[in-house]
A and B are shown apart, each in its own frame.
Chain A
């Protein structure tokens, strides 16, 4: 049985539920025939991938839905073999180059070169039930904000040289980490997170299709907790249904485990500021890391939770410290040091504040 997220994923540009204007723009771009390279960006769960696949379907017909997963092997100059997983159809290929770390450059170059060389024969696409020749294939590169500098530089001229035979769709959360020369080579497509009411609309639609009776209070609550992440909202709806059906308006929304765990961790930090507590918190942080929760996400979530319980007078300082430690975390190689460093700092600042506050009352 398919998950709701997959079952109700719109397949066509016309069927996308929100940012409809943008969907019709994409249609216009595709039908012009001379699609430029695209840089699709926006927060996770905003529906970038769905939009891209719908665009490809518009471009090539339903053949893009016949996907195969492959393990491709590339060889570096120094004869080292690198393996990477690709997802492809006859018309496109998708790969996440950062899967192979600093070898990302090799993967991208080899991949594009292969396509350029085999692409002398135009692929036949089916559009509006008519067969059309397309002179290019599409290459989707995900998480390009995590590409190494080398890989980004290497893309520059390549993107221009092979434009005839392939078009790139680059996907990322934020364009800040994409070098200007690459941004200059793409048309940017920003995909904002859907609004709460848009999410509620989609939840209602799914509930109707599944013949579920969804109280509006619950739908609202799910939308709120999802913080604009539609994928998360739909997963939560499904989790709620598994937990309790018929729904009740005041039933608890089931948050992902790691979120609850971080919220509790924040509460622990507020409760007590001692070396022993710091030690306990470190165990909790390890626990999160070992479950592969991305360190940056832990940092962001922990800070938001702590701020909710922090006095206004020290908030600015806490944020500044968080920014300092989080930045260092990206430069270093052991996230735990920096997460723990921040927690220790928080405890120190918090203690100081409490002592001062107490002194004022004396």
Chain B
């Protein structure tokens, strides 16, 4: 099995094992450490963007709490499990009865990862289940969007926001990995550049590092790093933003789609450009921002990116 270990991508290889390994997220870490000492735990709700350590933290906590008993004491239900109303009730019930209630820590933990994908009905049912087993079981809900959790559930938990990881923390963590993996980016400006592209998502930063390292047999440039991070070159975005002729801009949008760039990445980068633009009139800026919102919404609904972006093109042209 040594062999398999080597084959594991770095994100899993360097997943935090203990609460101490969790980088940043000081608030939640300090509270959880107190809980570790006192042996008591509230219901938890973790929320925040992808790759900030939510799943890792609860798994690390459970490992710290239970050690070898982990399997008997922790039930993990995620979006891939059947999570209808009755299923949750049954599973939690069986779990509570199955495990003998002994050991240092009296309660068990039920982890509901990706809870934002649960229906409202299932969440309502969950609330009752939570109340019923509150003596013996603690729940940890995890989600990206806290607004998708119904208020009665929300208010029963201690909430912890997981923030995008700050650059200096990422630099430290990635430097550690560089040392262990013999990566020659260690401490370099290129490493910092790569980290900034990850926008606080540690999972993304680690994957980018691994990939950049694997392909660095040949010399790689910053342009290459941007490319693997899926960021659109600034000049492409600028040409779109400054093009005054509609025909030319609709064609540019066609080329843009042909290049395979992602539409919502364009919106993100345009947004930054529009906000930083000091010359544009306020009313025109407002019109542009509103259009960005509409286009984003439509594309997420499944609308054609080509047509949506051409619609945006018309608004851009009329803002000149």
A residues neighboring B (CB under 8 Å): 21, 24-25, 28-29, 31-37, 41-43, 46, 77, 105, 109, 122, 133-136, 149-150, 153-158, 160, 163-164, 173-177, 180-181, 183-188, 190-193, 227-228, 296, 299-300, 303-304, 307, 312, 315-316, 319-320, 322-323, 326-327, 330-331
Contact for A300 among B4, B6, B204, B307, CB less than 8 A:
B307
A29–B215 CB distance below 8 A: yes
Judged by a CB distance under 8 angstroms, whether B257 is at the interface is yes
- Distance in angstroms between the alpha carbons of A315 and B313 in the assembled complex: 11
- 6 A-B Cβ contacts within 8 A? A32-B210, A33-B6, A122-B4, A175-B264, A316-B318, A330-B302
Check A300/B304 contact, CB under 8 A, given A46-B260, A315-B246, A316-B314: yes
A136–B7 CB distance below 8 A: yes
Count chain B residues whose beta carbon lies closer than 8 angstroms to a beta carbon of A: 74
A299–B50 CB distance below 8 A: no
- Distance in angstroms between the alpha carbons of A135 and B8 in the assembled complex: 9
A42–B307 CB distance below 8 A: no
B204, chain A: closest CB distance, angstroms = 5
Of the stretches B76-84, B89-97, B120-128, the one at the interface is B76-84
B311–A323 CB distance below 8 A: yes
A157–B214 CB distance below 8 A: no
Contacts of A304 in B (CB 8 A): 254
B80–A135 CB distance below 8 A: no
**Dominant secondary structure of chain A at its interface with chain B:** helix
With both beta carbons as reference points, the residue of chain B lying nearest to A150 in the complex is identified as B117
Top 4 closest pairs, chain A to chain B, by CB: A42-B260, A316-B314, A323-B311, A184-B50
A36–B3 CB distance below 8 A: no
- Distance in angstroms between the alpha carbons of A158 and B12 in the assembled complex: 13
0/1 interface trace, chain B 1-22, chain A, CB 8 Å (1 if under): 0011011111111000000000
Judged by a CB distance under 8 angstroms, whether B100 is at the interface is no
- Distance in angstroms between the alpha carbons of A183 and B218 in the assembled complex: 26
Judged by a CB distance under 8 angstroms, whether B203 is at the interface is yes
B144–A160 CB distance below 8 A: no
B215–A28 CB distance below 8 A: yes
Contacts of A183 in B (CB 8 A): 50
Contacts of B104 in A (CB 8 A): none
A43–B300 CB distance below 8 A: no
Contact for A327 among B13, B203, B308, CB less than 8 A:
B308
Check A181/B144 contact, CB under 8 A, given A176-B263, A188-B230: yes
With both beta carbons as reference points, the residue of chain A lying nearest to B308 in the complex is identified as A323
B144–A319 CB distance below 8 A: no
A320–B314 CB distance below 8 A: yes
0/1 interface trace, chain B 211-223, chain A, CB 8 Å (1 if under): 1011111100000
A176–B299 CB distance below 8 A: yes
Contact for A326 among B117, B229, B307, B317, CB less than 8 A:
B307
Judged by a CB distance under 8 angstroms, whether B281 is at the interface is no
Judged by a CB distance under 8 angstroms, whether B242 is at the interface is no
Contact for A180 among B3, B13, B49, B228, CB less than 8 A:
B49
Contact for A34 among B9, B230, B301, B317, CB less than 8 A:
B9
- Distance in angstroms between the alpha carbons of A222 and B302 in the assembled complex: 31
A35–B3 CB distance below 8 A: no
Instruction: List 8 other contacts, CB 8 Å, given A36-B210, A323-B311.
Output: A29-B215, A33-B6, A77-B82, A175-B230, A187-B208, A187-B211, A300-B304, A323-B308
A323–B310 CB distance below 8 A: yes
B10–A34 CB distance below 8 A: yes
